[in-house]
Structure formats: C-alpha cells, structure tokens
Chain A
Amino acid sequence: MYNSRLEHYLDEMERPLTRLSAETRREWREEARQHLLDLVAAHEELGASPQEAMEAALRQFGDARQIGRQLQRAAQEQTMGPGAALALFSPLLIAAILLLTGCAYAYVLSGSLLAYTVLQWAGVGAFLAVPILGGWRVGRRRSARRLGRPALAALALPTLLFLPIASVFLIPMIGSPWQGATPDCRWGLLWFPMAVASQMAASYRYRRLKSHA
C-alpha cells in the first residue's frame, strides 16, 4: 500500500515526460523517490504514521502531473527539438540524394538499368532515413549545449564536400545542373536552397539556445 502509493505518484509524474530519454526519466524518478522518502522519514520522526507521513510528503512535494509538465517544459527548452535537429541534418540529406542520383545517372550512361534502379531506391531510402533517424535522435536525446561545434562541423561536412565533388564529377556528367538531369536529380537540385535555408534556421536557433547559457 505504502510503496504502491509512492510508485503511483511517481508514475503520474513521469507520464508527461515523453521527450526525455529512458535513462533521464529513470534518474529523475530515483531523485524524486529519494526526496520523497526523506520527507516521509521527517514526518514519521514528528510522530505521523507511515500512511500519514506518505500523504504529507506527497502533498509537500506538489501536484505530480504539474511537476511532470514543468519538467517536460524544461526539457523542451533544453533540447533542440526534432524540427531543428532535422533541419541540421538536411545537408546530409541533400548530399545523399544528389550524389546517389548523380551516380545513378552515370550508370544510365553506362547502360545498366538495374544499377540505376538500385541506386535510385538507395537515394529515396537516404532521403527518408537520414533526416528522420538522425534528426529524431539528436533532437530528442542531445541537449543543444552538448551539440557543440565539432558535431555541427561534422554535420556541415557533407555539404562542404558535396560542392567540390559535384563540380568535379556530377556536373560534367550531366552537362549542366539542369539540362539533361534525371527528374529525381532535378528535385534534388530544387531541394538544395530549401536545405540551406532550413540549416540556417536551425543554426540560428542553436545560437539562440546557446546564448541563454
């Protein structure tokens, strides 16, 4: 009874913490549990029965759902959010699409339709997987402060590498950035300014978060 009341309270508090990792939730739960047990012990020392002491401790700690929501808000401020992190990963996305479609076009020139199809689908896979997996993981689990300059540089690297690679290999192969490009390659080229804009937005948000630190 005594323990189940405590666990139920902690469950209630944990319910809104959807944006915290399992490890952070477990740590937070442990921290709250110890605080509550200290309060219970203090009330028992003052003469309360175990049940009375538990109820008094829970009252003193506050409304479980409200505390959970406050923690969730603090966590939202702390992490970049999946949207911003997704935008940060868009250089990877553009590099993956354009390089793979460029390679695919090269295979078309070489006459291998199978290679073209495989690489085209690999491009679509990268289109979906890179921002979704990467953005979700970074936005959810990494605080903005921990995503320091080395990580940002690593994220920007594919874009930086893409430009010389494209100028040396891709553009000569397709003649010009637009004429003679395959349709998916055109989509890739259209995507490029959007990717740059979203990355700039993400970098701005990151700097703003950092400036609060």
Chain B
Amino acid sequence: MRPRNTELGELLKGHTPTLLLAVLRDGPLHGYAIAREIERRSKEALRLGEGSLYPALRTLEQEGLIISRWETQPAGPARKVYALTETGAAELIKRMRSWRDFVQAIEDVIGGIPHVQQPTGTLSG
C-alpha cells in the first residue's frame, strides 16, 4: 500500500487485506480492477504499489477468505479473478467492526479537530 501521504501509510499498515476483502464484497474482480477500485473509492488517496497486492491476495486465498479462477474474456486473454467466500464475508464484517471500534476509540481520545484561529493581517514595522 503506497498512499500519497506517508502518515496515512503508517496508519494503514496491516489493513490492506481488509481493503481487498471490502472491494471484493461487491463482486469478483481481477487484480488490476481491484487496484483501480481502491483508488476510486479512496478518491485516489490510496495508491497501491500494485504488485504488492498479489502476495496479500495469495495469503487471503490460502486462508480461505477469497477464491480465484481463470475467466475467459469476450475479448483478450483469460484473466484471473478473485471472489469473496462466505468465510471471507464473515471475516470482513468482523474486521469492519474492529476497525470502527478502533477509529471510535482513537476519536474518543483525540477529540474533534480543534478550531484554530488563523492570524489575520500582517505585522508592519
């Protein structure tokens, strides 16, 4: 995961699998489409180092959370598409709950964004 902002990158460490599961909730996609969908949903805030998506997909597949199959396309070569399994859907709900609890806890600690009065005018000598 290579978000534009490095702080966001730190926050997101370890959450790539959750993002992948979330994107696959709406239907099967191939790797390129997954990358584009994450970009689209995050309004381009999250840009993947797209090759690193495949090890994460492989791990999710090994854990039985997603499955893959080669699908022939109307035009062009066959593509490998990934789909969420029932176990994966249940795991996604669990991870979403954990994430929301985590975000809520952090918000409770840091509170809202303080309103900082911006200085107006300029100093004149």
Binding site for B on A (CB under 8 A): 13, 27-28, 30-32, 34-35, 38-39, 60-64, 66-67, 70-71, 73-75, 77-78, 143, 145, 212-213
Contact = CB atoms under 8 A, between A and B. Distances in A.
B120 to A, nearest CB: 41
Nearest to B34: A35
Contact of A67 (B35, B51, B63, B80): B51
B31 A74 contact: no
Contact of B59 (A13, A27, A77): A77
B77 interface: yes
The contact size tier of chain B is: 20 to 34
The 8 closest A-B pairs by CB, nearest first: A67-B51, A70-B55, A62-B49, A62-B51, A74-B58, A38-B32, A61-B51, A74-B55
B55 A39 contact: no
B55 A67 contact: yes
A31 B51 contact: no
Contact of B32 (A27, A34, A63, A71): A34
Contacts, number: 66
Given A28-B54, A39-B32, A71-B58, A213 B64 contact: yes
Given A39-B50, A61-B49, A61-B51, A31 B58 contact: no
